[in-house]
Amino acid sequence: MSKDRDTSVVPIYCFVRMVESKHVFQMTGIKNLQLKRKLLHGICRLDGKYIGGSIYRDGTTHMIATCAQASEKFLAACASGKWIVTPQYVLDSIKNGVWLPEESYELDFTGRSIEATHPIRMWRTKVASGNISGAFQDWKVVLQIDDLIRSNIFKRILTAGKANIYTSPSDHDVTHVFTDLVTKDIQCDTRYRSVDYIAQHLFGSPWSEVSEMLMRLSAISHQESTPVDTSPESEGNTLLFSELENQLRNHVSKLALLKKRFVSMDCISYTTADRQSESTVVDITNVQSLIECGLLLEALEEIQGMVHPGILPSSQYLCTLMEHIMHGEVKPYSYGTFIAVLHCILRNNPSWGSQTVVKYFLHILQCPQCKGGTWSFIQTSVRWCMSIEPCCHSLPAPPSLELICFHIELQAFLLTLFQHELCAYSRGYARGSRSSVLMRTFWSIWERTTLSSRTVQQLAELLVHASCWALPSSEGWKQRLVCTLHEMLAVVVEYWCQEHSTLNKNLVEKGIEDLAEHISILCQDQPPEFFQEFIPSMPSMRLRMLTADSIYRNFCRRNGITIGTEPLTLKKIVSSYLPALGKIGAHESRTTRTGPGPGGKAGAASCANLVLRSGETEGTGGSAASNQGNKFLKRLHKVNMAGEMLIHRVCKRNQVGTLLHILSLPGIDVNVKDHAGWTPLHEACNHGSTECVQALLQHCPTLSMDVQVGGVSPLHDAILNGHTHIAKMLLQYAGSSLLHQRDAAGRTPLEVVSSQSLQEELRSWAQEGDSAQNAGGMQIRDVPFLEACACLLRCLLLSYMLVWDVPSYEATATPLDPTPRLARAVAAHTARQVTAAWGNPLLVRLAEDLEMLLGMGSWLRAVPATLRNCQGPHTRLLLLQLEELEADGTALLSGSHPGVGHSWHSPHHHP
């Protein structure tokens, strides 16, 4: 370790990586966890070493104890002449920044100052002076203790005092034979002694109270002695991991608060403190006269001059002026003046928290002719700019550029209004009040618990339509219209999330997922270049992440590529989505296959001619065939008590003919689950139905091989039931990705197998599957589609890093950031070990993501050749991003700057 490292950063792994420390500590009898944490942190900060566990270790130099203990560690430390100090020794050393002399802190349970009456000091000084090597030097001991656990305890104590242990009293001139009970027939042999002699030898007969207490060691229970820790550092690690969890919890809370402040950082803070308690609508007669005389610009200027805090001009005037403007009946200069008037009203009379102002804006921000509400007004304005129908009523055609720009500015004003309502809500100005223009525009009173209200879905549809319409154009006003809709949807999502996040976080997550799925469906028929523009432009990081994930999974399904059903994590992105990208590049077409049957119609015809093993045969007549078909269809969808359909049952019985007939039918779900969650593939693997497994692999491009029930995947099922031939088929089909699946106990398929030779065979079959996939993917057959998918995956990865605060080296450069310590702990152990006692799922996810970040190099080396050979900009950027993540992981461990800028970690950056 570097000598000039920051001592405020305490690496957890120093317990196992420190070498030759002069201060190696163990503790005994300290039950106060808070004190124990202080001692552990102090030992680490002063470059000491701590060894945990209930077993005494010979490398110990200092034993910390508050009083004499009936413990193995206390007796062994005394017998070996080690320092036995009080906890105050460490605490005072922390205050001074260096290890202090130990003499004044040495434990003295006798209460006397005479050297000869201080047994702990006596043995220590004798050993330190070289007079003896230990308190039991020259002892040749045999232990005749029936209890093996207790026998081992005394063996370690005696060995620490340099006694020699033998197995038989007749061997090597044995000097001491220790037994639980000295009977009359052996009393004449002076070598035989009770185990209490050990305490008497160490502390002497004058200290009867101590001796009696220490003699209780012979009655140590199994419960106290059994947990012999094979990992010496585990006790210290558990405590430090608990402390690390507390530090991370505080750090994550601060990050969440900071991100919340960033939401409205780009908004102009309109006046809130000086606002009147209630605004008043004022009717001025001369404005009406100016409008009647056709002096519209003068009327606007009159309104602008009368707007003050607490004063609202009559909404009727503005509605009339709006109608004239929308029909192009004013001079172009009036367009800008009208928008300025709206901003002036909002600045002096903010809408948040005021029912009067909210109703006022809802009245003026609607079509003055149709009175259909604010959302109808937004739709009409956008559709009219796009020259598409339907609109609520006809507007001047063809539209002039000045009038189009007015509508663009009007849409921007609405966005500004929504942004400031979000800003006010984030800062607590409008808490407890549901009164806002945004809320009233996008949710009815019955829809407030769902993000995907009818209006929000229509906003998403309008955004997708506008994005596709503006895609081939480079005109600035078109791009601004799309950008405004993007920002509007982001504000709507964030406002709803803040409204409900404190009450039901699961509701929020589900709401965003549903909206992302809806957008994914809207986008499914768009060209590849659409996704390269649309997804990176989404300002809402969480919505962008889930939308990219949904679209990417849809692309994989359409191309017959298996993707796991586990939650989205960094590991899933890198270990599952990245290999899938290589397979996508090798596909000739990305269109959905017409049916699950082999060879389309030809496959269906061939299956119809098969003789079903279930005993059904084709009839000779049309009516017989029809009746038989009807009976088969009834059987097809019949569910038994276990929830099994016909496809489950034929897979259990290996009735491959019937299975092929089922697969030839339209609309068959090959991944259907029974009540317990088992799929047909599960049943075939469990029962050794080789032909059915082969049929499913050959004819079902959407077959899911990652579905797990209690952690049992199809591959686990095959291995656990001894069907290695089926395991071979699965691995040769899907490759090594299946070997990373874990069951409920955390075991991979390789860990389930006890035979080393079988493990090697499984790896070999997985490599064959990888080679077959790579061999078919050396040539890129659809570059635009591959680029679109690479763009999706890049946006997904960037968004995930930002949403879940996966740290970079630059983001953790401050000494108080605990994430570098977490990274080092994960590197020294595993994420599962570090988080074993943690209760916060967000922190567990962070540890797992860091573990994946640290292992990024191995996944980069396995990137398919398809991606390596691609020269497309999005694919190259994706690989560069992964290389930067690998550099970040290395920097987190080494503490050195990777030399690569990571601007994408900024909260304001959108890829």
Average pLDDT over residues 746-767: 86
Question: What six digits make up the tokens of 51?
Answer: 């060894």
pLDDT bucket at 908, cuts 50 / 70 / 90: very low
Closest-CA residue to 741 (of 717, 764, 774) = 717
Closest-CA residue to 56 (of 83, 86, 76) = 76
User: Residue type for 877, please?
Assistant: L
- Using CA atoms, how far apart are residues 359 and 437, in angstroms rounded to an integer? 8
Question: How many residues belong to the chain?
Answer: 911
Closest-CA residue to 518 (of 459, 440, 468) = 459
Mapped onto helix, strand or coil, the DSSP state of residue 63 is strand
Kindly report the backbone phi and psi dihedral angles of residue 473, in degrees, each rounded to the nearest multiple of 5, phi listed first.
-105, 150
Highest mean pLDDT among 215-224, 603-612, 820-829: 820-829
441 or 643: which carries more pLDDT confidence? 441
Average pLDDT over residues 271-277: 45
Highest mean pLDDT among 3-12, 144-153, 197-206, 785-794: 785-794
* Residue 599 predicted with pLDDT over 80: no
Query: Which residues, in sequence order, are CB contacts of 817 under 8 Å at separation 6+?
Result: 251, 807, 811
Q: How far is CA 210 from CA 200, 201, 413, 700, 763, in A?
A: 9, 12, 84, 77, 61
- Using CA atoms, how far apart are residues 750 and 748, in angstroms rounded to an integer? 5
pLDDT of amino acid 506 = 81
- Using CA atoms, how far apart are residues 144 and 165, in angstroms rounded to an integer? 11
Question: Exposed/middle/buried for 903, CB within 10 Å: 0-12, 13-18, 19+?
Answer: exposed
DSSP string, 821-842: HHHHHHHHS-HHHHTTT---HH
Question: What six digits make up the tokens of 312?
Answer: 């609202």
Query: Which residues, in sequence order, are CB contacts of 878 under 8 Å at separation 6+?
Result: 581, 790, 793, 794, 797, 867
Cα angle value 361/365/371 (rounded, 5°): 115
DSSP string, 125-176: HHHHHTS-SSTTTT-EEEEE-S-HHHHHHHHHHHHHTTPEEES-TTTTT--E
* Residue 613 predicted with pLDDT over 60: no
pLDDT of amino acid 858 = 81
DSSP string, 598-612: TTHHHHHHHHHTSPP
Closest-CA residue to 77 (of 161, 139, 198) = 161
pLDDT of amino acid 146 = 73
Helix axes 285-292, 296-306, angle to 10 degrees: 160
* Residue 702 predicted with pLDDT over 90: no
To the nearest 10°, the Cα dihedral for 55, 61, 66, 71? 30
Closest-CA residue to 570 (of 855, 904, 909, 251) = 855
Cα angle value 168/173/178 (rounded, 5°): 50
| Poorest-pLDDT segment among 122-131, 413-422, 520-529, 890-899 | 890-899
pLDDT of amino acid 390 = 60
**CB under 8 A, 24+ apart: contacts of 154-157:** 154/178, 154/195, 154/198, 156/55, 156/56, 156/72, 156/76, 157/56, 157/72, 157/75, 157/76, 157/79, 157/198
Mapped onto helix, strand or coil, the DSSP state of residue 499 is helix
pLDDT of amino acid 227 = 36
**CB under 8 A, 24+ apart: contacts of 766-772:** 766/731, 766/735, 766/736, 766/738, 766/739, 767/735, 767/736, 768/731, 768/732, 769/731, 769/732, 769/733, 769/734, 769/735, 769/736, 770/735, 770/736, 772/732, 772/735
Average pLDDT over residues 230-245: 59
- Using CA atoms, how far apart are residues 559 and 789, in angstroms rounded to an integer? 12
| Poorest-pLDDT segment among 6-15, 41-50, 822-831 | 6-15
Q: Quick one: how far is CA 847 from the chain centroid?
A: 8
Question: Exposed/middle/buried for 623, CB within 10 Å: 0-12, 13-18, 19+?
Answer: exposed
Helix axes 841-854, 873-894, angle to 10 degrees: 100
Helix axes 196-203, 72-79, angle to 10 degrees: 50
pLDDT in tens, 332-354: 778 888 888 888 888 888 887 78
273 CB neighbour count, 10 Å cutoff: 5
What letter does residue 84 receive in the DSSP assignment?
Answer: E
Q: Where are the alpha helices (DSSP H) in 263-295?
A: 285-292
Q: How far is CA 730 from CA 560, 701, 705, 710, 756, in A?
A: 15, 14, 8, 20, 19
SS (H, E, C) 744-802: CCCCCHHHHCCCHHHHHHHHHHHHHHHHHHHHCCCCCCCHHHHHHHHHHHHHHHHHHHH
pLDDT of amino acid 416 = 93
- Using CA atoms, how far apart are residues 885 and 883, in angstroms rounded to an integer? 5
* Residue 27 predicted with pLDDT over 60: yes
How many angstroms separate the first and last alpha carbons of the chain?
37
Q: How far is CA 284 from CA 17, 63, 487, 818, in A?
A: 82, 89, 36, 63
Tally of CA atoms within 13 A in the half-sphere of 526 that contains its CB: 27
* Residue 628 predicted with pLDDT over 60: no
* Residue 459 predicted with pLDDT over 70: yes
Q: Residue 811 in contact with residue 254, Cβ under 8 Å?
A: no
The pTM of this model reads: 0.61
Q: Residue 493 in contact with residue 515, Cβ under 8 Å?
A: yes
Longest dimension (CA), the chain: 133
pLDDT of amino acid 793 = 95
DSSP string, 389-420: S--SS---SSPPHHHHHHHHHHHHHHHHHHHH
565 or 185: which carries more pLDDT confidence? 565
* Residue 312 predicted with pLDDT over 60: yes
Question: What six digits make up the tokens of 462?
Answer: 């309008």
pLDDT of amino acid 91 = 92
Kindly report the backbone phi and psi dihedral angles of residue 256, in degrees, each rounded to the nearest multiple of 5, phi listed first.
-65, -40
Q: Residue 312 in contact with residue 287, Cβ under 8 Å?
A: no
- Using CA atoms, how far apart are residues 740 and 856, in angstroms rounded to an integer? 15
Question: What six digits make up the tokens of 734?
Answer: 């899907």
Give me the residues paired with residue 142 across strands: 166, 177
H or E stretch including 178? strand 176-179
Rounded percentage of the chain residues whose pLDDT exceeds 90: 23
pLDDT of amino acid 442 = 93
State the pairing for strand pair 280-282/192-194: unpaired
Considering the chain, what is the average pLDDT of its residues? 78
pLDDT of amino acid 252 = 82
Q: Residue 716 in contact with residue 752, Cβ under 8 Å?
A: yes
- Using CA atoms, how far apart are residues 715 and 724, in angstroms rounded to an integer? 9
pLDDT bucket at 279, cuts 50 / 70 / 90: low
Question: What six digits make up the tokens of 79?
Answer: 């017998």
* Residue 395 predicted with pLDDT over 60: yes
* Residue 737 predicted with pLDDT over 50: yes
Cα angle value 196/197/200 (rounded, 5°): 95
* Residue 865 predicted with pLDDT over 80: no
